[in-house]
Structure 1
């Protein structure tokens, strides 16, 4: 088996695991202090950032790449603003978020204000649902790649953090969503194509 093929078939994957994979339903383990600076953890973090950017998404947790460890990465680049109308961008309280990587993160709710917005997940491809999340949170942990060890987030960035933290506890957004809002995001395209369509699991 070639090295390239092996890298695709053993964690950390270069794709997102999908709902049904047991790794998404277990509580991830903490990274032991003596391992934080290890080559293994560095490799996992590098792969997480690579996959995050390849799929042009805003967050990834290590379990989504098949690794049951408490590591998250988040990023909302300025270029993503073009993917939303100005009204949606403002209504969802979106803003840029520099690459932020945390090992053994913890989250603290900083406001009782809750917003309910459509939310999707790269591990539940092709669907979305409305989820209530706190408006302001603080994430603390071991910062990697220049990330501070404490970060206060508001609006959509706070939503990203809560979503990724859920992944570390075996929780997927469908567990929290308004069930009646669960939607196939390509339903209109499916209709216009006479039912001939497919959900792609790679970019």
Structure 2
């Protein structure tokens, strides 16, 4: 059941987290918090505490480094996530590859109680990783375009369409808030270490990986 409004439980958990040095440890696969449906955020934190939590999540995401971080990944089962992608910090990735994958800048933003629905039938499949499955990547087919709904950290409503890599990031982080890891949606025959991807599978699309590793693309 969701936390009652004004419940001290989440506030106590966050205060303990804020007392720890940054960056915070990132929870790894196998921890039940990553498999539980997170509770909706219902204003349990003061503005000051929420701001401190968001700042800590941002610093932890940057330090990892990553382009998104959901609260369960730092041990908090609540529906809050942060995302940001400069789209330029990918050494050795050609501009043509960035374009093929739809990688464009995604400014820093906070997602509170986000949901998404697909827009249209187009699907894109690319290698994807996760800070909570350290060292591995796999090909995941996701909706090319989505409609994002939810709120930001001020409570302002979000209702917008995203496409390409920003849509992929939002789908990935929102899935975390429902106990879903990217491996649940992945082509498991594509599972590769970061080193293997960097050595073998840097092509703009995973078509060659599909042929060599024996999996189908949508």
Contact 2:103 2:164 (8 Å CA) reproduced: yes
Counterpart of 2:62 (choices 41, 53, 63) is 53
CA distance in 2, matches of 1:146, 1:86: 36
Uncovered stretches (5+) of structure 2, i.e. residues with no partner: 1-15, 200-218
CA distance in 1, matches of 2:80, 2:111: 6
Return closer, same or farther for 1:4/1:133 CA change in 2, 3 Å cut-off: closer
Counterpart of 1:22 (choices 23, 32, 42) is 32
Cα RMSD of the aligned pairs, angstroms, is 2.8
Which residue pairs with 2:41 in the alignment? 31
Counterpart of 1:166 (choices 169, 175, 199) is 175
Uncovered stretches (5+) of structure 1, i.e. residues with no partner: 191-203
Structure 1 length-normalised TM = 0.80
> C-alpha offsets along residues 47-73 of structure 1, whole Å, 9 cap, x if unaligned?
111111222311111101111000111
1:88 offset after TM fit, Å? Answer: 1.8
> C-alpha offsets along residues 132-178 of structure 1, whole Å, 9 cap, x if unaligned?
00001121212127986233211111000110011001110111100
Structure 2 length-normalised TM = 0.75
> C-alpha offsets along residues 56-102 of structure 1, whole Å, 9 cap, x if unaligned?
31111110111100011111115325552223211111100111111
CA distance in 1, matches of 2:124, 2:151: 28
Q: Secondary structure at the match of 1:48?
A: helix
Count of aligned residue pairs for this structure pair = 184
Which residue pairs with 2:100 in the alignment? 91
